Structure 1
Amino acid sequence: MGTKLAEVLEPIAGWFRGFNVPEPIVHWGHPAMMGVVIFVLGSYVVYAGWQGRLAEDKEVAVKSRSDHRKLAPLMFTFMALGYTGGLLSLVMQKQPIMESQHFWTGSCVLLLLAINGAISKAFVGYPGLRNLHAYLGSTAFLVLIVHAVLGFKLGTSI
């Protein structure tokens, strides 16, 4: 299936190869950009979500929930775009797509975040699901940290 996906993405990867982007940017561009998304935006989204739940100051809690509500969909969008960019980076480098743990943790994170987003929208007012949302989002962030470590390992191996 990975070979078929690579074949589908090859025309797009070929188009990008035509720009003659320097190899270090093709190789390390995805990790650098996604590192910013994960460790800057992602950590703030997690912090704001928990701060919105735990802050004793009502104003702080309201602001944190508002920040979380605004930034979490943006983070998901960047994650989905970064996922696509990572696949294209591998295809551009003529590397297998679905053979690394990095691919599978990235796929898992997107699935967890999509489920979490659905929970936040579809089940407003259900306290048990609000708790599930908090813990599922935190789990997704922990998987993202593992994902980053696996990505660095993958990057140094190719």
Structure 2
Amino acid sequence: MNWQWIQDTLTQQLEPFAAYFRALDLPEPITHWGHPLMMGIVLVGMGSAVALTGWKGRLLSPTDSDGSVENRKKHRKIAPWMFLFIVMGYSGGLLSLVMQGHPILESPHFWTGSVVVGLLGLNAAISLSKFAGGKPALRTVHAYLGSAALGLALIHIALGIKLGLSF
């Protein structure tokens, strides 16, 4: 696959938006650290809430069915918003790199972010299918896939900090 062509095409498509934001003459710390700060809040704050409510809803004993139902409701309310903010933040991260004149596809941070978005998208599709009619195996896949995505997000955060400090 011609990665350079993909990188050049993405950069070219994002450049008009990058030029607009560059023209706002935002302070360098906002341009440089805005994406990591906002995404850190989403991943740590919302991600932990989504994981906690999802696992609590799954693991609470049948004698505490009210708690299980309540946690599942909370999970269903927070998870779509987290996914939306992550997808928006992914786009913002690409835009931030273009604004600062850095290559998009050359860092492990880009690739881990892409995998996290892909895993969460797959997890959303599983959920939207209503677990293919409520199949317990798909609920289990959903739980572990979401946990794996958030675990990878922690590595993604570390790689992002390393990337941010490198330029």
Report the TM-score, using the length of structure 1 for normalisation: 0.98
1:76-115 maps to which residues of 2 (within 5 A)? Answer: 76-115=83-122
**Per-residue displacement from partner, 1:54-110 (whole Å, max 9, x unpaired)?**
112222111110000111110000000000100010000000000000000000011
Tell me what 1:150 maps to.
Answer: 159
Aligned CA-pair RMSD: 0.7
Cα distance in 2, alignment partners of residues 3 and 63 from structure 1: 47
1:51 maps to 2:56? yes
Cα distance in 1, alignment partners of residues 46 and 86 from structure 2: 11
Q: How many aligned residue pairs are there? A: 158
Cα distance in 1, alignment partners of residues 166 and 9 from structure 2: 23
Q: Which amino acid aligns with 1:87?
A: L
Name stretches of at least 5 consecutive residues in structure 1 with no aligned partner. Answer: none
Tell me what 1:9 maps to.
Answer: 14
Name stretches of at least 5 consecutive residues in structure 2 with no aligned partner. Answer: 1-5
For 1:108, what is the secondary structure of its paired residue? helix
Moved segments of 4+, more than 4 Å: none
Give the fraction of aligned pairs with identical amino acids, expressed as a percent: 54
For 1:20, what is the secondary structure of its paired residue? coil
1:136 maps to 2:141? no
Which of 56, 63, 72 in structure 1 is aligned with 2:79? 72
Cα distance in 2, alignment partners of residues 43 and 2 from structure 1: 32
Is the deviation greater in 57-66 or in 9-18?
57-66
Q: 1:117 to 1:20 in 2, by over 3 A?
A: same
Tell me what 2:47 maps to.
Answer: 42
